[in-house]
Amino acid sequence: MSILNESRARTLFIGAVCFAAVALVGAGWTNWSAEAREKPKHDALSEKMRLKLSASSKVLEGLTTEDADLIREGATAMAEQSQAEFWQVFTDPDYREFTVEFRGSMRRLKEAAAKENFDAAALEWMDATKGCLDCHKHVRRMRAKLNQ
């Protein structure tokens, strides 16, 4: 009985975390779309940046189905993207800091997945998602400054 309760609580917990993650990304996306309207939509940078979306859904799928390989695959892809040249569009210290934090999150996400610690992975993913939004907010601020 107690095992059943524990696993139910765990499912509820992961469900809540995933719901919050989707809501956060959704909120960010809405802001972003408004911004994107003012510039060409599918330039080369956009396409590369959008690779993060498919990697993120892998992570989310991995968390919802407790598939450690999927989590690792998504996190590895995003860690590699963050090392690529296209990622370094900005080089100011804050942008670099966001990038370093993001890479740290991807590393911890992979570690949690390797240990099949799905609760830790879910929390790490929340943190990383917040990182997506914070960096984007910073990028919008930088762009606004550059366009002044």
Query: In whole angstroms, how close is the CB of 50 to ligand HEC at the nearest point?
Result: 5
Vertex 130 angle, CA 78 and 110, to 5°:
40
Q: Locate 84 and state its tokens.
A: 């690529």
Rounded distance between C-alpha atoms, residue 133 and residue 140, angstroms: 11
Using CA atoms, how far apart are residues 37 and 15, in angstroms rounded to an integer? 33
- Please say which residue, 10 or 52, places its beta carbon nearer to ligand HEC: 52
Q: Which is nearer to ligand HEC, 10 or 48 (CB)?
A: 48
- Nearest-CA neighbor of 135 among 94, 74, 77? 94
Using the structure block, give the residue that is written with the tokens 């949690």.
Answer: 112
Residue 66 Rama label (left phi>0; alpha psi -120 to 50; beta): left
CB of 109 to ligand HEC, least distance (A): 10
Task: For ligand HEC, give the closer residue by CB, 4 or 85.
Answer: 85
Where along the sequence are the contacts to ligand HEC (CB under 6 A)? 36, 45-46, 49-50, 52-53, 56, 78, 89, 95, 98-99, 102, 128, 131-132, 135-136, 139, 143
In this complex, which beta carbon is closest to ligand HEC, that of residue 2 or of residue 91? 91
Question: Least distance from C-beta 123 to ligand HEC, angstroms?
Answer: 15
For residue 6, the minimal CB distance to ligand HEC (Å) is 30
